[in-house]
Structure 1
Amino acid sequence: MLEVHPTKHGTGVEFIGTYNDLASLYDTMTKLSMTNIEFLSEDERLLTIIPYDLRHAFQGDREVYKNNLTFGFKTNWITLLYTIACLRHHQNYIPLTKIDLANLLVFEELTEQAMLMYDPRGHAALQPFIGMRINIGTQYTYLAHREAANDFLSMRPGKIRFRMIPKILMRWSAPSPTYTRFCEGVDKYIEESGYSISNIDREIPAEEKIIW
């Protein structure tokens, strides 16, 4: 059975499980990241982030707990919440087994438990954003997520930052003026550069100095 722990400084969570726990969750997430539907392609790009760490975890390239033969990986709150929103949305397009559904329910439940363990007040404000109220299913999903993650990771770690997550998510979702200007800027860049959106990325300098 998977378990979860909020990280010490509230940057995100660590999921811990056996090889089979993590491999099963990886299979479910990978299935939901391959809809082959064009308008979900940027959702699918986002859905490569956590599965990448999942795979490296059960391969022994992340945290290894030899005393109980389990493996762990960390992810930040913004990426976690965007991932859950995309997974929920993609369930409408991909046939799932009962094991897949169980994996998704456990993944969401553990996320809520971690929020509650870290900060009950912050958890109450974040509940409405678990699988909802986050702009996904558009060509801007991946890049907006990167902007939101950059905002979050650039802030000072702690509960005040954790409680700012709803505002960050709303800022990078419609109908926020910031989000609207961002989308217009991306469209203009695509028009002028001739690039497709899948060739555009956003570096997050704070990722190199994460204090978990």
Structure 2
Amino acid sequence: MLVSRPTKFGAGITLGGDYLDLSSLHETVHTLASEKGPLSAHHYEFALGLAYDLRKAREGKRDRWPSDADAYVGYSAVNILWPIFLVQLGMLRAACAYMPTDRRIQAHLYSLEACAAEALTEFDPSISAMCMRWLANFNLLHDSFLMEFVTHQTREFLFGADQGKARFRRLPRLLDEISPFSQAYHEFERAVVKQAHAQGAKPQDMTDLSEWPDFKW
């Protein structure tokens, strides 16, 4: 079974499972986020980031879960930042409404949602309730939506003025802004379009490659 917990400082979720858990979930993500699915090209690539993390965990290239608990011998785990993980999960769940799925896929998504709820609640129950309501109402983003904005919001989540519990309390607002109708997104889109035009590129191809400062998970 999949297991989860919040990271020590609330930056994200630690998601773990055994080899078969992670392999099966990896397959589900690839089924939902593929060229044949409802997600547009640059969107399904974002969702596939979850499959990449799962594969690295399965290969033992992330963390053991947890290192001091005999009950979970053979489990591997990976840390994923909250804004990225919740958007990926929302995209996968929304994709199900536009394609046929089987019980295995649905079971995996329910399990991921349970892991998210448990880890969020362990860190802060009130914030968990708001984040899970946001997840339940998440819809597919239109094709022109710049997924780089999720990275922008994640950086704001990590490096905003407040840290710890105060940082975690910003999460619902930052998630709400991941919408084509939010003022924050419109300001970001205008800036990216202007930058892309100056470089003769498409806005969807613009990526911030600057290094992030160290942070506490």
Moved over 6 A (4+): none
CA pair 129-204 structure 1, distance change in 2 beyond 3 A? farther
Partner Cα separation in structure 2 for residue 185 and residue 141 of structure 1: 12
Matches within 5 A, 1:31-180: 31-36=31-36, 40-65=40-65, 67=70, 68-133=73-138, 136-155=141-160, 156-180=162-186
Alignment deviations for residues 132-158 of structure 1 (CA, whole Å, 9 cap, x no partner): 357734333421111111101113431
**TM-score for both structures, normalised by structure 2:** 0.86
Partner Cα separation in structure 2 for residue 108 and residue 58 of structure 1: 20
Amino acid at match of 1:157: Q
Alignment deviations for residues 133-188 of structure 1 (CA, whole Å, 9 cap, x no partner): 57734333421111111101113431111111111122342322221122233333
Percent identical across equivalent pairs?
25
The gaps in structure 1 that reach 5 residues or longer are none
Partner Cα separation in structure 1 for residue 163 and residue 57 of structure 2: 25
The gaps in structure 2 that reach 5 residues or longer are none
**TM-score for both structures, normalised by structure 1:** 0.88
Partner Cα separation in structure 2 for residue 30 and residue 133 of structure 1: 20
Shifted more, 25-34 versus 132-141: the winner is: 132-141
Match of 1:210 in 2: 215
Contact 2:10–2:164 (CA<8 Å) still a contact in 1?
A: yes
Q: Which SS does the other structure have where 1:14 is aligned?
A: strand
Shifted more, 32-41 versus 65-74: the winner is: 32-41
Match of 2:2 in 1: 2
Pairs aligned (count) = 211
